[in-house]
């Protein structure tokens, strides 16, 4: 046998030996996307926040027949991120539909709008056989095993209860299974992350709101709230909390992300941080550019008062001279890496915020792309058990633990019966 032939035979033998040893050691890796899809078909991917109900209010005044969620909503102007086919392509097993009400609505008007948003969400769910309205973890798993998308409701902003714990109970009875304590603005009992603090966190009435949520089994959502509110809530709550759509402040220091000292307490609490895809929350260069644009716009408005055309022309030139960087799928994966390193995979979930934002990271343009994110995590060496927890098992655990706490509290206490005026 010639040298070339012997060399070829030796290389083939080495290759064969390497493959055999890799297979024996369990090191051979299948296609990352195929593995991601296999995982998402074995456990439910539970997304913490999708704003489709708000799109119905914003676009068509909740006239349900004017948007067909079973059709291709990417053809709308502007396109939506969500429809039934793309949810199925994305292997979504459970979805918290946000029944958001703008903080511009106040008092009884906010409460009325909340009822309307719960109504549109429940009508949407009942209209589509691929969706199944559920209120607990057992129902969620039953829907998943039937091949349907388990659909839960999450209220975004405590202003909608109009300072009434009785109203909070009524929303729970209608199916709401989490409440974000604030939105962009403070409530009368809790400080928001993006407003000037008024209460140094959570007021005494706010503590009673959290306690009643624990008693009912409603998840306390700390997305949007001020870090002091996060800490005060973690001091009070007897059940695990969630962050339905927030990322890591240590990775991107946006006010809406979760600080490290709060992350450390989430471990003790048993809660879950559901990483969001909002571009400025996950990409620091983009966050800095947005802040610079806001500063430039304010400067131009002061330079050219009463001349909006000149302001518009000059800000357009500034944008051309300062193009926005692109957030990417990899940025989101970096946040998941950060959280895994800090608090472990047992406390991570996913909260995309689809149809609640105008732009999304490259690679995560709509709800069909969840497998691509999980494929990236496979590439980064995440174990199957970790990915199953991140996809949905962590959220299921929190839901079950919150139910257990509620059952115990109901044996010990009556429904909370206080008024905000009691604490003046």
**Residue of 81, 199, 224, 226 with catalytic role:** 224
4, part of any domain: no
156 belongs to the catalytic site: yes
pTM for this one? 0.92
224 belongs to the catalytic site: yes
51 belongs to the catalytic site: yes
322, part of any domain: no
**Residue of 353, 355, 366, 376 with catalytic role:** 353
pLDDT-based confidence at 5, cuts 50/70/90? very low
Residue 30: the pLDDT is: 77
**Residue of 47, 49, 376, 388 with catalytic role:** 49
183, part of any domain: yes
Number of structural domains (the chain) is 1
Residue 17: the pLDDT is: 38
User: Is 136:218 a contact under the CB 8 Å cutoff?
Assistant: no
**Residue of 83, 156, 191, 388 with catalytic role:** 156
406 has a pLDDT exceeding 60: yes
65 belongs to the catalytic site: no
**Which CATH number do you get for residue 58?**
3.20.20.140
Residue 16: the pLDDT is: 40
CA dist 227 and 141 (Å) reads 33
312, part of any domain: no
Which residues, other chains included, contact 277 with Cβ-Cβ below 8 Å and sequence gap of 6+?
A: 332, 352, 353, 354, 357, 360, 361, 364
* The two three-digit tokens of residue 343, written as one number: 């608090």
CA dist 233 and 203 (Å) reads 10
Give 362-382 as a 3 state SS string: ECCCCHHHHHHHHHHHHHCCC
**Residue of 183, 208, 226, 254 with catalytic role:** 183
13 has a pLDDT exceeding 90: no
**Cα-atom radius of gyration of the chain, to the nearest Å?**
24
pLDDT digits (tens, 9 = 90+) for 277-322: 999 999 999 999 999 999 999 999 999 999 999 999 999 999 999 9
* The two three-digit tokens of residue 341, written as one number: 């390193």
Bridge partners (DSSP) of residue 97 are: 50, 153
pLDDT digits (tens, 9 = 90+) for 219-253: 999 999 999 999 999 999 999 999 999 999 999 99
**Residue of 245, 254, 335, 347 with catalytic role:** 245
212 belongs to the catalytic site: no
- Other beta carbons within 10 Å of 126: 12
Which residues, other chains included, contact 378 with Cβ-Cβ below 8 Å and sequence gap of 6+?
A: 29, 32, 33, 35, 36, 387
What is the domain extent for residue 41?
A: 37-278+347-423
254 belongs to the catalytic site: no
Provide mean pLDDT across the span 72-85: 98
**Residue of 47, 51, 191, 232 with catalytic role:** 51
pLDDT digits (tens, 9 = 90+) for 367-390: 999 999 999 999 999 999 999 999
245 belongs to the catalytic site: yes
Residue 23: the pLDDT is: 44
């Amino acid at each position: 046998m010639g040298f070339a032939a012997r060399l070829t035979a030796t290389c083939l033998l080495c290759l064969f030996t390497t493959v055999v040893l890799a297979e024996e050691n369990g090191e051979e890796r299948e296609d990352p996307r195929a593995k991601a899809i296999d995982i998402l078909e074995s456990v439910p991917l539970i997304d913490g926040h999708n704003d489709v109900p708000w799109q119905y209010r914003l676009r068509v005044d909740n006239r349900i027949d004017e948007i067909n969620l079973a059709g291709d909503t990417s053809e709308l102007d502007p396109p939506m991120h969500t429809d039934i086919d793309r949810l199925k392509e994305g292997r979504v097993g459970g979805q918290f539909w946000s029944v958001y009400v703008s903080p511009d609505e106040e008092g009884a008007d906010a409460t009325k709008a909340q009822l309307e948003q719960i109504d549109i969400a429940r009508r949407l769910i009942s209209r589509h056989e691929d969706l199944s309205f559920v209120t607990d973890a057992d129902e969620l798993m039953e829907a998943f095993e039937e091949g349907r998308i388990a659909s839960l409701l999450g209220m975004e902003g405590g202003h909608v209860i109009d300072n009434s714990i009785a109203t909070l109970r009524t929303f729970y009875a209608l199916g709401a299974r989490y409440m974000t304590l604030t939105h962009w603005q403070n409530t009368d009992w809790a400080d928001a992350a993006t407003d000037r603090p008024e209460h140094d966190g959570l007021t005494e009435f706010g503590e009673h709101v959290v306690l009643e949520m624990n008693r009912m089994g409603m998840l306390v959502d700390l997305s949007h709230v001020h870090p002091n509110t996060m800490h005060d809530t973690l001091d009070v709550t007897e059940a695990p909390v969630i962050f339905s759509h927030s990322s890591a402040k240590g990775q991107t220091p946006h006010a809406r992300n979760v600080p490290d000292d709060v992350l450390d307490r989430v471990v003790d609490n048993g809660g879950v941080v559901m990483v969001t895809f909002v571009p400025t929350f996950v990409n620091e260069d983009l966050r800095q550019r947005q802040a610079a644009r806001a500063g430039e716009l304010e400067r131009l408005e002061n330079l050219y008062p009463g001349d909006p055309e000149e302001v518009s022309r000059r800000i357009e030139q500034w944008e051309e001279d300062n193009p926005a960087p692109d957030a990417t799928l990899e940025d989101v994966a970096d946040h998941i890496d950060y959280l895994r390193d800090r608090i472990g995979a047992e406390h991570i979930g996913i909260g995309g915020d689809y149809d609640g934002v105008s732009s999304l990271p490259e690679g995560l343009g709509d709800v069909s792309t969840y497998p691509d994110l999980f494929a990236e995590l496979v590439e980064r060496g995440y174990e199957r058990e970790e990915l199953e927890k991140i996809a949905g098992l962590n959220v299921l655990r929190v839901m079950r633990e919150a139910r257990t706490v509620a059952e115990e509290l109901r044996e010990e206490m009556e429904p909370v019966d206080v008024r905000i005026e009691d604490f003046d």
